[in-house]
Amino acid sequence: MRAAVYLRISNDPTGEAEGVARQHDLCTALVDKRGWDLVGVFSDNDRSAYKGATRPGWIDLTDTIRAGGVDVVVAYATDRLTRHPRELEDLVDLLEATGTQVETVSSGSYDLSSPEGRAQARIFGAMARQESERKAVRLQDANRHAALKGKRMGGRRAFGYENNGHDFRTGEAEAYREAVRRFLRGETIHGIVRDFQNRGITTTTGRPVTTAILRGYLHNPRYAGLRAYKGEIVAEADWPPLVDRGDWERLQAILNDPARKPRQGPRTQNLLTGFLRCTKCGRTLTTRKNHGNRSYGCPPTALGGCGGTTIKAEPLEEQVRDWIFEVATSPVIDEHLAAEPEERGSVARIAELEERADVLATMFAEGSISRRQFEKASQRINDDLEAERSLLRPTSRTIASLSAGEAVSDLWENGDVETKRELLAAVLDHIVVGEAVRGWNFHDPNRATFVVRN
C-alpha cells in the first residue's frame, strides 16, 4: 500500500520544528512496521487546524489523494489532520470517494467507508474542536489576568527593551526618549522620523522608522510603565517606564488634540464590511440593523443577491477576533511583514511630503504666504501624496506597526475599527458564510470559512 504521512503542530515558538520531527519519527516507524511504501511526507509546522488558516501541506496532501496517489494516510493523531468539523466532512467525502484509509499512531485506524468509522472520526473531531475552544478561552483569561497584574504576555520585543521585556536596550531607549523630548518641544513627527532615517535608527526588525511607527510608539502606554487591556489602562506595569508618566500624559493630550487630526471622510463602523461572501450566490454581504441588533446579510434578488444568508454581527466579529489572535501565533503574519523596496521608498517620500504640508500650514497661519499661494502649493502636495499613497498596500500602516514589534493583540485591543480592518486585510481575503442550521438560534462558528490571502 502507498502511504502518505501528514505532520502538523499548531505552535512552534522556537522555529526549530521539533514537534513535527517527533511526529515524523513515530509515523514513519508505523509505515515501516506495516510494510507500506512511503510515497510522501506532507508537513505544516506552526499551523493551526482550528481557525481556518491556510495549510500548504494539507492542500498538497488532499490534491495527492484526489489524484489517486495514496492508499492510506498516516498521522500522529486524528486532531493532527483537522479540528474543524466542516473540514472533517470534506475529508470524509474525499477518502470515501477514493477508497483511502486513515491510520494514526495514537488514535488507531478509521474505516471511513463504514457508518461506525465515520461516527468515530466525527466524535474525535468534535472533542478536538472542544479542546481548541477551551484553549482559546484559557488564553483570553490568561491575557486578562496578566494585564490586571501589570504583566506582559510575550509577543515581539518592544522597541527600547531587551527580549526579557524589563531591561532597556540602550540605543533604542535613548532614541525613544529623544523623540519624546523633541516632540514636546514642538517638533513634528515627520521631522523626527526624517532625522531618524538619516541616522539609520531602525525598528526591532531592522526596518526604517516611519511616521506611523513613531506615532504608535508615542501613543503606547507601555513606555510610561502602564498596562493596557482592550484599549483601557488597567494597571501599572511590572517593567520600568522609559519616560515619566507626566510627560507621556502630555504627549497624549497633544496627539489626541482634535485640531491636529486631518479631515477625513466617514468611516465604516462595521468590522467585516466587504469581507463576507454568501455561500449560495457568492455576493458580498451587507450590513443590516433591526431594533438595534446588527447583522450581515446577502442582498435581496432585486439587488443582485439571493437574500438567503444572514448572520448576527457581534458573535461573528468575536469569532474573527479569536481567529486573528490564533493567526498571530502562526507564520501567516510574518509572511506579510516584508514591504517591497519601492513601497519603503514611498513611505519615506510620504513622510517628506507630509512634513512639507505642515510647514506650509505654519507659513499660512503666520501670514508668510497668501491664501492663493497656500491653496496652490497645497494642491500640488496633495496630488503628490495621492500618487505616492497609491503605491502602498492598503494595509501598510498597520503592517508597519507589526514590523516594529507591536503585538497583534495590542493593535486589536487598542485600535479603532479601521486599524482592525487593516489588520484583517493583511492576512484575510474573505470569509464564506454558510447556511444556518434550521432550528439553531445561537452562533454556529462552523458557518464561517476563512480564506487567507496568498
- Grid coordinates in use for 22? 517527533
Please, where in the chain does CATH 3.40.50.1390 lie?
2-144
Helix (H) or strand (E) holding 295: strand 293-297
β-partners of residue 37 are 2
Separation between Cα atoms, residue 121 and residue 116, nearest integer Å: 9
| Other Cβ atoms closer than 10 A to 221 | 20
**Location of C-alpha cell 493583511:** 426
CATH of domain 2-144: 3.40.50.1390
**Location of C-alpha cell 498571530:** 328
Separation between Cα atoms, residue 327 and residue 321, nearest integer Å: 10
Please, where in the chain does CATH 3.90.1750 lie?
170-257+341-406
- Grid coordinates in use for 306? 439571493
Backbone torsions φ then ψ of 39, nearest 5 degrees: -105, -10
Separation between Cα atoms, residue 49 and residue 6, nearest integer Å: 13
Helix (H) or strand (E) holding 7: strand 2-9
The reported pLDDT for the residue numbered 178 is 94
Residue 254's contacts (CB-CB under 8 Å, 6 or more residues apart) are 183, 184, 260
The reported pLDDT for the residue numbered 240 is 92
Separation between Cα atoms, residue 235 and residue 225, nearest integer Å: 9
Among candidate residues 292, 418, 419, the one with its CA nearest the CA of residue 410: 419
Alpha helices (H) along 200-307 = 211-219, 245-255
Separation between Cα atoms, residue 195 and residue 204, nearest integer Å: 18
**Location of C-alpha cell 520531527:** 21
The reported pLDDT for the residue numbered 38 is 94
Among candidate residues 49, 87, 50, 64, the one with its CA nearest the CA of residue 5: 64
**Location of C-alpha cell 505616492:** 388
The reported pLDDT for the residue numbered 196 is 92
Residues in the chain, pLDDT under 50: 12-16, 49-52, 262-268, 338-344, 393-397, 403-405
The reported pLDDT for the residue numbered 342 is 46
| Other Cβ atoms closer than 10 A to 356 | 17
Alpha helices (H) along 228-340 = 245-255, 313-327, 331-335
The reported pLDDT for the residue numbered 344 is 45
The reported pLDDT for the residue numbered 42 is 92
Q: Is the dihedral of CA 410, 416, 422, 427 positive or negative?
A: positive
Cα within 13 Å of Cα(209), Cβ side: 26
| Other Cβ atoms closer than 10 A to 183 | 21
Domain at 170-257+341-406: CATH architecture: Alpha-Beta Complex (3.90)
